[in-house]
Structure 1
């Protein structure tokens, strides 16, 4: 199955965001503690990682429903990027979320 170049990029971006978010939550936030493990922030990071994985999955199975998951992924990633910036010390995670949000916005609109 050949995907468009843009969909391939979005799949890779979503998977990278999933890995970055999950790894940051488990190996940075849990270790750092404090506001990094406050329930609202930590839940948002988990929701973001899972939504990225789900969006990638929907694109990989080539369902037209990927537009819905990509739209939601863009929203959650944007929220997560802002939250990671406000908590601080998670520039890589915030940047990855912003890139994923932008890629998913394009896929949702395609």
Structure 2
């Protein structure tokens, strides 16, 4: 597999794992209602990253379009997680993974 695709897949898979972990950890927070948007975006981000990874892996003609959407959702999720990152390590780590994935997806679109 091409090195650029492998780097992109690594970023997508790391983002999936970080988002799933963050959503699960947010559900354990005392004020779950305050974390509702974060949890929702974590789930959306993990799902779009998983679908994008599958399309990139098989060389789908639709991968480019999905990379754009994935970058947008990663940005939204990263923005939300950054709001909580100062006092929640799982949100900080998720925001960082989302930023790396957003950048990788944007590079994938440009390639």
Q: Distance in 1 between the 2:33 and 2:92 partners?
A: 13
1:9 maps to which of 7, 10, 14: 7
1:50-104 deviations in Å (ceiling 9; x for gaps): 0111110110111121111111111100111110011332111100000000000
Residue number in structure 1 paired with 2:103? 102
- Displacement of 1:38 after TM fit? 3.6
Q: Where in structure 2 are the equivalents of 1:1-110 lying within 5 Å?
A: 3-26=1-24, 28-34=25-31, 38-88=35-85, 89=88, 90-110=91-111
Aligned residues: 107
Check whether the contact 1:18–1:53 (CA below 8 A) recurs between aligned residues.
Answer: yes
CA distance in 1, matches of 2:33, 2:100: 22
Runs of 4+ in 1 over 4 A off after TM superposition: none
Task: Give TM-score scaled by structure 1 length.
Answer: 0.89
Q: CA RMSD in A?
A: 1.5
Q: 1:17 to 1:60 in 2, by over 3 A?
A: same
Query: Any gaps of 5 or more consecutive residues in structure 2?
Result: none
Where 1:13 maps in the other structure, the secondary structure is helix
Structure 1 residue runs of 5 or longer lacking an equivalent are: none
